[in-house]
Amino acid sequence: MSRRLDSPFGKDAPGFLEATDACAFCPNLCLHACPVATASGRTSEAPWALMTLTRWVATGDSAATPDVRRALGACTGCGACTAACLHHVPVAATLQHARAVLHRTLGPAAPGQAPTIKSESSTGPIPTGASGIARWHSGDTTAFTAVAKAAASRWQGRSRLVFEDHADLVCVRDLFPTVGAAVGASLVLSAVDALSSSPPIPAGVVGYLPPCTTMSRLTPTSPVDHGSYAATLETWLGHAPATLRWDIAGTCCGAAEPFRTQNPETARLMAERIVQNARDRGIDVLVVLSAPCAAHLRDVALAVPAGQRPLSVVLPGGDSRVELPR
């Protein structure tokens, strides 16, 4: 009988075994909820597969290798698997914890290649990624903590922070306090803030893509209430927009970093799925509230297959409008 390897999870190994126990013997019942596996068609990227791989590393049946870390990166952290789990397993949180352990064990995946934090003005919206959320997702909690504390220090004295990306807003709200970087300012999404200035209402059938559950379950106890966003849009339009949803959470477009950079093909397939859904439903204009999602979907919407209806992607207050000939 082969000797088992030492687990990098150390004293946390029992917790990982408990968290992955139900998944290891589950017949992939959350597969339908995973936007990554649905788009790619690869069951190796399903939550079941990633949780089973995590279990093998925790038991010492598999080594903690760069290939394992790469495999666990095929996850946007959207939490759809967690919401779909019949046994209430914290799948997304467990996989995030596993990535953090592997980062501590293996070191940076690409030294010197950490996501760049864009500079910001004192008056404009907080740029995408400024919260350091991509570093947290990659498992580099040390770098994330440094970014969070530096950001909180810069933002001291500001009563209001307006964010380009929904992910950054929720990161600041939920994760910053866990690393001693709480921010006292009110947090606002730029696209929603722009609606208060009554921008022109687009012509045609308007659809709405809610900020997906990406980042809405950074902490299990604080899901994001998307109802207020939908209500604001309804007030702006004067009627309820068509909302894109398949099931509990089928709307992740794959724009989250570092997932998009590391898995560009799958990220594009995820965006294509959303764009096709909108076209099939007769939508002319798709309103998106996060800047990176709008830009990602815009790139896909520009490619109009023969016989398909054109689609405009609009970020209220932003520059992600796609104007196509009728």
Q: Is 119 inside any structural domain?
A: no
Q: Is 112 inside any structural domain?
A: no
Both 296 and 275 in one domain: the answer is: yes
**Mean pLDDT in residue range 189-206:** 87
223: pLDDT strictly greater than 60 = no
Q: Is 204 inside any structural domain?
A: yes
Q: Within a 13 Å sphere around the CA of 164, how many CA atoms are in the beta-carbon half?
A: 20
Q: Is 241 inside any structural domain?
A: yes
pLDDT digits (tens, 9 = 90+) for 114-135: 566 777 777 788 999 999 999 9
- At residue 250 the predicted structure's pLDDT band, cuts being 50, 70 and 90, is low
Where are any strands of DSSP class E within 179-236?
186-189, 206-209
Question: Pick from 106, 123, 150: which residue ends a domain?
Answer: 106
Per mean pLDDT, which range of 11-25, 62-76, 244-258 is the poorest? 244-258
CA distances, 159 to each of 130, 177, 303 (Å): 18, 17, 42
What is the model's pLDDT at position 222?
A: 52
By residue range, what is the domain housing residue 138? 133-194
Single out the residue of 197, 186, 204, 217 nearest to residue 79, CA to CA.
217
Residue 168, Cβ density class (10 Å: 0-12 exposed, 13-18 middle, ≥19 buried): buried
Q: Is 116 inside any structural domain?
A: no
- At residue 304 the predicted structure's pLDDT band, cuts being 50, 70 and 90, is confident
CA distance 80 to 192: 24
Per mean pLDDT, which range of 12-16, 25-29, 153-157, 263-267 is the poorest? 12-16
| Strand pairing report for 285-288 and 242-243 | unpaired
DSSP 3-state assignment of 172? helix
Q: Is 324 inside any structural domain?
A: no
Both 254 and 290 in one domain: the answer is: yes
Question: Pick from 194, 223, 239: which residue ends a domain?
Answer: 194
What is the model's pLDDT at position 226?
A: 62
214: pLDDT strictly greater than 70 = no
Tokens representing residue 147 in the block? 């970014």
- Pair 21, 91: CB distance under 8 Å: no
Single out the residue of 190, 196, 171 nearest to residue 294, CA to CA.
190
CA distance 217 to 219: 5
Both 270 and 162 in one domain: the answer is: no
Share of the chain above pLDDT 90, in %: 42
DSSP 3-state assignment of 210? coil
- At residue 2 the predicted structure's pLDDT band, cuts being 50, 70 and 90, is very low
- Pair 42, 82: CB distance under 8 Å: no
Return left, alpha or beta for 8; rule: phi > 0 is left, psi -120 to 50 is alpha, else beta.
alpha
- What's the maximum distance between 2 C-alpha atoms anywhere in the chain? 70
pLDDT digits (tens, 9 = 90+) for 143-179: 999 999 999 999 998 999 999 999 999 899 989 999 9
Q: pTM for this one?
A: 0.87
What is the model's pLDDT at position 213?
A: 56
Both 219 and 302 in one domain: the answer is: yes
CA distance 156 to 151: 9
Both 166 and 90 in one domain: the answer is: no
10: pLDDT strictly greater than 50 = yes
What is the model's pLDDT at position 232?
A: 87
**Mean pLDDT in residue range 277-287:** 91
Both 237 and 301 in one domain: the answer is: yes
Residue with tokens 């350091």: 132
Both 305 and 203 in one domain: the answer is: yes
Tokens representing residue 175 in the block? 């994760």
CA distance 305 to 320: 20
Q: Is 114 inside any structural domain?
A: no
**H-helix or E-strand containing 287?**
strand 285-288
282: pLDDT strictly greater than 50 = yes
- At residue 83 the predicted structure's pLDDT band, cuts being 50, 70 and 90, is confident
Contacts with 70 (C-beta within 8 Å, 6 or more apart), sequence order: 109, 262
Both 202 and 226 in one domain: the answer is: yes
Both 282 and 308 in one domain: the answer is: yes
248: pLDDT strictly greater than 90 = no
Both 62 and 24 in one domain: the answer is: yes
Both 205 and 297 in one domain: the answer is: yes
Q: Is 29 inside any structural domain?
A: yes
CA distance 259 to 74: 7
54: pLDDT strictly greater than 50 = yes
Both 279 and 240 in one domain: the answer is: yes
Q: How many domains does the chain have?
A: 3
CATH assignment of the domain containing 235? 3.40.50.1860
CA distance 294 to 186: 24
DSSP 3-state assignment of 154? helix
